[in-house]
A and B are shown apart, each in its own frame.
Chain A
Amino acid sequence: MKELLLIFISTVLINNLVLSYFLGICPFLGVSGRIESAFGMGMAVIFVMTLATSISWLIYHLILLPFGLFFLEYVVFILVIASLVQIVEMFIRKFSPALYQSLGIYLPLITTNCAILGVALFMVARNYKFLESVVFGFAAGLGFWLVLLIMAGIREELEYVEVPKVFKGASLTLITAGLLALIFMGFSGLISA
Chain B
Amino acid sequence: MREIVKGLWDEHPIFRQLLGMCPTLAVTTSAINGLSMGLAVVFVLFFSSLVVSVMKKIVPHQVRIAIYTVIIATFVTIVDIFLKANFPQISRALGPYVPLIIVNCIILGRCEAFASKHSIGKSLRDALGMGIGFSWGLFLLGAIREIFGARTLLGIQILPQNYDRLIVMILPAGAFLVLGFLVAIMNQIEAKAKK
B103 & A78 in contact (Cβ 8 Å cutoff): yes
B183 & A181 in contact (Cβ 8 Å cutoff): no
Shortest distance between the CB of B168 and any CB in chain A (Å): 7
Dominant secondary structure of chain A at its interface with chain B: helix
Shortest distance between the CB of A148 and any CB in chain B (Å): 14
Mask: chain A, 3-47; 1 = CB below 8 Å from B; 0 = not: 000000000000000011111111001000000000000000000
A78 & B81 in contact (Cβ 8 Å cutoff): no
Shortest distance between the CB of B4 and any CB in chain A (Å): 24
A175 & B103 in contact (Cβ 8 Å cutoff): no
A113 & B173 in contact (Cβ 8 Å cutoff): no
Interface size class of A (residues with CB under 8 A): 35 or more
A112 & B105 in contact (Cβ 8 Å cutoff): yes
B102 & A166 in contact (Cβ 8 Å cutoff): no
A78 & B70 in contact (Cβ 8 Å cutoff): yes
Whether B135 sits at the interface, judged by CB under 8 Å, is no
Which of A71, A166, A174, A185 has most chain B Cβ within 10 Å?
Answer: A174
Whether A114 sits at the interface, judged by CB under 8 Å, is yes
B173 & A170 in contact (Cβ 8 Å cutoff): no
Mask: chain B, 82-100; 1 = CB below 8 Å from A; 0 = not: 0000000000000010011
A179 & B100 in contact (Cβ 8 Å cutoff): no
Q: Which of A165, A167, A170 has a CB less than 8 Å from the CB of B18?
A: A170
Give every chain A residue within 8 A of B183 (Cβ-Cβ): 170-171, 174
A174 & B168 in contact (Cβ 8 Å cutoff): no
- Cα distance, A179 to B80, chains bound together (Å): 33
Give every chain B residue within 8 A of A113 (Cβ-Cβ): 103
Q: Which of B26, B76, B102, B168 has a CB less than 8 Å from the CB of A22?
A: B26
A74 & B102 in contact (Cβ 8 Å cutoff): yes
Whether A121 sits at the interface, judged by CB under 8 Å, is yes
Whether A92 sits at the interface, judged by CB under 8 Å, is no
Whether B159 sits at the interface, judged by CB under 8 Å, is no
B176 & A114 in contact (Cβ 8 Å cutoff): no
| 14 A-B contact pairs sorted by A residue (CB < 8 Å) | A71-B81, A74-B73, A78-B73, A114-B100, A117-B100, A117-B103, A118-B96, A164-B184, A165-B187, A166-B185, A175-B176, A175-B181, A178-B180, A179-B177
